[in-house]
Amino acid sequence: MKIALAQLNYHIGNFDSNTAKIIDAIQKARSNGADLVVFAELCVCGYPSRDFLEFEEFIGLCEISAQKIAAECTDIACIIGLPTPNHRAEGKALNNSAYFIENGKVKAIANKALLPNYDIFDEYRYFEPATEFSCIDFKGHKIALTICEDLWNTIENPLYITRPMDILIQQKPDVMINIAASPFAYNHDEERISILRDNASRYKLPLLYVNNIGAQTELIFDGGSLVFDNTGKLIDEMPYFEECVAYYDLDDKSTVSFQHRSTLRTEKQSDIAQIHRAIILGIRDYFYKSGFKQAILGLSGGIDSAVVCALAAEALGAENVMAVLLPSRFSSDHSIKDAEDLVKNLGCMHETIAIKNITEAFETTLKPQFENLPFNIAEENIQSRSRAVVLMAMCNKFGYILLNTSNKSEAAVGYGTLYGDMCGGISVIGDVYKTQVFELANYINREREIIPINSIVKPPSAELRPNQKDTDSLPEYDILDKIIAGYVEGRCSSAEIIKMGYDEKIVRKVIRLINLAEHKRYQTPPILRVSPKAFGMGRRMPIVGKYLS
């Protein structure tokens, strides 16, 4: 039996596009002699569809698309993922399902049993877990078909009380097929390989796993579909961040082999290389799937905006990026030059709009209210918000989408101006720590100098007052980032972080700042997720909570 794995980029709710893409892959797989082509979890509607799943029409369109796909399945079978109605009176209204389609008809349905409800996942909100499992007979083989999380209960501390494969294995299948929608994090590929390898060796069956690729707002899917033999040996690893269809032979002895290509990595990509590719895909899909073409950002001459500008130029084309220099009376000459050097290196569009007159107008208007009060954060934030007003005005006038340039370290401790530098349509590096931003800048410069070296080596500064430095308000970033990571990603208590060797006063201050800044993060744009725990949908904290604040 020849099996094709189709690793594709879907668009939530775009039934015409998704269906056409699936049918095209079926036709090509058939012309290449495939008996079965396998697509990803919820490929028909896109993942995650969230509350679209509560609309009956949405579910109906999924079924209409499935029937169009079925009509194309002559002389070939396929597996597709879609939400289906739960016809039982009890439980949730839907199942997360996989259709096995053969000869134009749905021959079998497999429903997902293990519904993740942690971090960015919210499947139990919509779906009823399966309790019955059956293998599928096809071409002399018995297939154990599961959906994503159904194979993830082999960890040391299981999250669920059942394992669907423990039931399916009793029916003596020849092969496991798992369809998934597994989002990217820079450490997730190795974890994925380990979990799936464990399944193949545990059940002594070959395993074919297909993931999707593409970004859905903040979530990025990296592909990397996998094939293992019945000993747990990794046979093939499909490309990351790319659409791909690959072909595999399964013989009568349940031995799997690849055809035409194998992309087994000789070495793992670095975290920064993966983050770079993920963000490029995240920007590109956010614009393409939203129907936008051109981006705008404020370019300060600092490293954060320089990195975002370079990433946007690579993702969208330099001709589609507008970099606006917005110097204030506190902007240094070298910062302006660094910004100018960057736009020359990139070849992107740029404008220079000084905000001195704008901020002075605000200060003059507020003079009766601010009379005899010293310059403080109010005047600092007026500068930041003046820049935001200019950038948003250009968005409205010319149809740009504003890129937010705040990094994860700043977002964590609230080091930014609400409705100022924290505004935007999408946060490009909001899940990238400041120390990683430096690594990302050096990675972007790996072949030639794109980001000016001075932007990388100079002390970070918001330049909202004379001689300002980030370290006036914050610990050094190499210390700050480790404390944030311990608390946000590691879920460590302040006591645990102090035991790691960090100063108690600094630790308590940082954690307090993180908790106090929740109201700011709640009002900021969606953040492209590249870590195991990003701010946004995957980290849900009360704004008014007192704990550790």
3-state secondary structure at position 27: helix
Nearest residue to 152 (alpha-carbon basis) of 126, 178, 122: 178
Choice among 21, 41, 73, 78 that is catalytic: 41
- Asked if residue 48 has a cis previous peptide bond (ω within 30° of 0), the answer is yes
Cα–chain center distance at 327: 33
To the nearest 10 degrees (0 to 180), the angle between helices 56-71 and 15-31 is 20
Choice among 112, 289, 434, 520 that is catalytic: 112
- Residue 348 tokens read as 């992107």
Q: Residues 15, 62: contact at Cβ < 8 Å?
A: yes
How far is Cα 238 from Cα 260, in angstroms, rounded to an integer?
A: 12
Q: Is 172 a catalytic residue?
A: no
**Residue 356: how many other CB atoms lie within 10 Å:** 14
Nearest residue to 25 (alpha-carbon basis) of 61, 69, 66, 57: 69
Choice among 62, 148, 309, 492 that is catalytic: 148
Pairing of strands 207-210, 175-179: parallel
Nearest residue to 355 (alpha-carbon basis) of 384, 330, 322, 327: 327
Q: Which residues, other chains included, contact 515 with Cβ-Cβ below 8 Å and sequence gap of 6+?
A: 541, 545, 547, 548, 549
How far is Cα 215 from Cα 290, in angstroms, rounded to an integer?
A: 11
3-state secondary structure at position 177: strand
With tokens 């450490």, the residue in question is: 187
- Mapping DSSP onto H, E and C, the string for 78-141 reads EEEEEEEECCCCCCCCEEEEEEEEECCEEEEEEECCCCCCCCCCCHHHCECCCCCCCCEEECCE
Helices (H), 347-414: 356-365, 367-370, 377-398, 408-413
- Residue 105 tokens read as 């008809």
CA dihedral 99, 102, 107, 113 (to 10 degrees): -30
Q: Is 112 a catalytic residue?
A: yes
Q: What are phi and psi of 29, to 5 degrees?
A: -65, -40
Q: Residues 408, 313: contact at Cβ < 8 Å?
A: no
How far is Cα 434 from Cα 440, in angstroms, rounded to an integer?
A: 10
**Residue 519: how many other CB atoms lie within 10 Å:** 11
Residue type, 300: S
Radius of gyration over every alpha carbon of the chain, rounded to an integer in angstroms: 26
The residues that are catalytic are 41, 112, 148
